[in-house]
Amino acid sequence: MTDNPFFEAFSAPFGLPDFDRIEASHFPPAFERALAEEAAAVEEITQNPEPPSFANTIEAFERSGRLLDSVSSVFFNLRASRSEEALEKVARDYAPKLALHRARIAQNEALFARVAALHESREALSLAPDQLRLLERRHRQFVREGALLEPGQKARLLAIEEALASLYTRFGQNLLHDEERGGLVLETGDLEGLPEFLRAAAGEAARERGFEGRFFVPLSRSAVEPFLSFSPRRDLRRMLYEAWTNRGAHQGERDNRPLIREILDLRAAKARLLGYESFAHYQLDEAMAKTPAAALSLLAKVWEPAKRKAEEERALLLSLARREGQNEALEAWDWPYYAEKLRRERFALDAAETKPYFALDKIVAAAFAVAGRLFGLSFHEREDCPRYHPDLRIYEVRDEKGATIGLFLHDNFARPGKRSGAWMGSYRKAQSLDGEVLPIVVNNNNFARGNPTLLSFEDAKTLFHEFGHALHGLLSRVRYPSQSGTAVVRDFVEFPSQLLENWIADKEVLRRYARHFETGEAMPEDLFSRLVAAHRFNQGYLTVEYTAAALFDLALHRDGPAPDLDIDRYEKEFRERIGVPAPIALRHRPAHFQHLFAGAGYAALYYAYLWAEVLDADGFAAFKEAGNIFSPALALRLRRIFEAGDSKEPMELYRAFRAAEPQLAPLLESRGLETAEKRVEDPADWSKKEGPLSSTEKRRRRRR
C-alpha cells in the first residue's frame, strides 16, 4: 500500500474512492503525477510515426487522462460536499494549473493536426455512429478552444483561461465564506408563528453551530424560504432576506462584485479571439438553441404572460396585506409570507399541513420506486463502504436482471462547509472502451435536518430533479467516457431531471409514499386535491424570478461589460428596462450567481432550464396521452435517452422518444400562463436579429 491512495487502485467495494484514507495533502502530488501522465500520453500520440487513425489518435486521447479524471472527480466533489481550508488552498493553487494544462492540450498543434486529418477524411473511415459523433465533437472542441489561432492569440487565450480559473475559484470561496458565517440567530421569543418542523430544524442548526439554547436559520434555500413564508415578524424576515440576497456582495477582500467585471472582460476577450460577436454567441453556438436570438425568443414568449400573472398576484397579496394592517409597500421579504397566507385562504393549504406527509426517507423511497417502475432498477444500501461524512448514504444499484450497474451516493443535509444548492456529481463515469466501467454518482441536497426531516413539496421536487440527473449517469451505456451520462449540451442536460419531477406529483406515487410521519396514514384525498389545485399558485412570481435571471444572464453576456460597469447599477437598470415587478428579485443576484460566475457551465446558458422545461412538459404529455405514466413502451424509449449520453444528437433522441417536435403549449399550461397575445418589443431588444458575421467568424464556420 502506498502513502497516497491515488497511486493504487481504490480498495473500497466497486472501486469507490477510499474516503477513509484520502486527505487534503494527497491531492497536490496526485495532481502533479496526473498532469505529467496526461502530458506524456499526449506526447506519445503526437510522436506516433503511424498515420493518424481513430484508434491511435481519438481513442488514445480518450485514455490519456484517466488518473487526472480520477483525482479531479474526487477533489471537486469533496470540495463541494465537505470543504475545509486545506482543500480550498489546493483549489486556489491548482485551478489555474488545471486550466492551463487543458488549454495547452487544446492548442497542441501536432495533436490537432492528427484530429483535423481524421476529421477531413471522416466519411471514408467507416466509423460507427458514436465514433463519428465523437470525432466531429472532438474536432469542434479543439477549434472552439483555439486550435486555429495564431501563436500570439494562443498565448493570450492561455492567459485568459488561467485567469478565469482563479477568478471562478475565488468567487465560489467568497460565497461559501458568506454562507458559512451568515444566517439569523433567534431567541425563543422570535419563533412566533413558526410551525414545529421549522422550529425543530432551527434548533438542530443552532446545536450544530454551538448556539446552545437558541435557534438558527442558515443561509440555505430550504431554510430561508420557509422562514420567509411563516414568520409574522417583518423585521426578522427583512434581516434574513437581505442576508440571503446579499451573499457575496460585501465590501472588502471577499466582495464578488469586482470579480464579475474581471470575468466578463475576460470572457468577452475570449469570444473576440475566437471570432464570435460576444460570449453569448460563443456559448450558444454549442447549445441546442444555437443563437442568443433563439434563446431570447423563447424567454420572451414566457416573459409577458408571466409578468401579467405576477402583477395579478401582487394585487391580491397587496389587498391581503392591507386587510391585515400593513400599509407599507409590498416588499420582496413580504411576498412569500402573504403568498403563503393567500395559499391557505384560497386552497385551505399550507406547508405546515403538507410537510408531515413528505418525510425525507419516504420521498427517497418514492424516487427509488419510480426508477424501479420505469427502468427496472433497485437500490440496496451498503453499510460496508467508506464515507466522506456520516450524512452520506450509499446504494448499490441493480437492473431488472439483478446485475449491478453502479453506485448511488446520497448526501441530503445542509451543514457548514457544504456548498449551497442542489447538484449531481460523478466520482466515475460509465464507459466500456476497455471493458465495462460502472458509474459512481452522487446527489447533494441541502435540506434542513429534523427528527424526522420533513420536506416541502418543492423540496421533494428538488430531490426528484437531482435524482433524474443521477439516473442519467447511472443508466449511461456508452463506449467513450467523454460521451457518458450528463456530458451533453447544456440545454439538454436538464431535460431528464426536470421530466422526473412530474412523478412526485402523481396521485398513485403520493398515495403510497406521502404518508404522515407519525401515524403512517396516507395523504387524505382532500389534501391531495388541494395540493394539486395549488400547483399553479404563485407561478407568475416563480416564472418571473427565474426568467428575469435568464434574461439578465443573456443580456450581460451578449452586450458585454461597459468600461465602468457597476454590477449593482446594471442590475437595477436592467430590471427597469424589462419591467420586473418591484417585489420580485432575480432568482440569483449577481454576487452569488454561481451558475454564471463560479464556472462557465451555465454562463449565457441559464435559459437552459426553461428550454428543458419545454421538453419536459411536452415529454410528460406523452405519458398522459398514453393514459399510463409508467407506460412500458414510453419508458423504454425514454431509457434510450438516458443511456445515450452524447453519443447521439439531442433532438434526434427527443424525436425518437416523442415521435414529434416539442411544443410550447404544455409548458404554458403547466405553469398556468396564458399565451402572449403578441410579441412585445421592449428595451431588452429581444427581437434583435443576429448581426453580420465577422470575416473571422465566416472563415471559422466554413472550416467547421
- Catalytic residues, which ones? 466
DSSP string spanning 28-68?
HHHHHHHHHHHHHHHHHHHT--SPP-IIIIIIHHHHTTHHH
Of 670, 659, 372, the closest CA to residue 499 belongs to 670
Q: Which three cell numbers stand for residue 548?
A: 428575469
User: Quick one: DSSP state of residue 14?
Assistant: G
Task: Report the 10 Å Cβ neighbour count for 304.
Answer: 19
Q: Which three cell numbers stand for residue 442?
A: 452522487
The sign of the dihedral angle between the CA atoms of 507, 511, 512, 515 is positive
- CB of 81 closer than 8 Å to CB of 419: yes
- Residue type at 30 in one-letter notation: A
Query: Which residues, 6 or more positions from 565, have their beta carbon under 8 angstroms from its beta carbon?
Result: 260, 261, 264
- Residue type at 272 in one-letter notation: R
CA distance 167 to 259: 7
- CB of 403 closer than 8 Å to CB of 449: no
Q: b or e along 99-134 (b: 16 or more beta carbons within 10 Å of the residue's beta carbon)?
A: bbbbbebbbbeebbebbbebbeebeeeebeebbebb
The sign of the dihedral angle between the CA atoms of 568, 574, 577, 582 is negative
27-46 vs 85-106: helix crossing angle, rounded to 10: 10
What long-range pairs does 23-28 form, CB within 8 A, spacing at least 24? 24/84, 24/86, 24/87, 24/89, 24/90, 25/86, 27/71, 27/75, 27/87, 27/90, 27/94, 28/90, 28/93, 28/94
Torsion angle defined by CA atoms of residues 546, 549, 555 and 558, in that order, rounded to the nearest 10 degrees = -90
Q: Kindly state the helix (H) or strand (E) to which residue 380 belongs, with its residue range.
A: strand 378-381
Q: How many residues does the chain have?
A: 704
DSSP string spanning 151-185?
HHHHHHHHHHHHHHHHHHHHHHHHHHHHHHH-EEE
CA 595, 591, 240 angle in degrees (round to 5)? 105
Strands 404-413 and 440-447: parallel
Task: Report the 10 Å Cβ neighbour count for 96.
Answer: 18
CA distance 75 to 5: 13
CA distance 644 to 650: 9
Q: Which three cell numbers stand for residue 122?
A: 471522416
Q: Kindly state the helix (H) or strand (E) to which residue 204 belongs, with its residue range.
A: helix 196-208
User: Quick one: DSSP state of residue 24?
Assistant: G
Whole-Å CA distances, 214 to 25, 187, 201, 273, 412: 37, 5, 12, 55, 24
- CB of 76 closer than 8 Å to CB of 425: yes
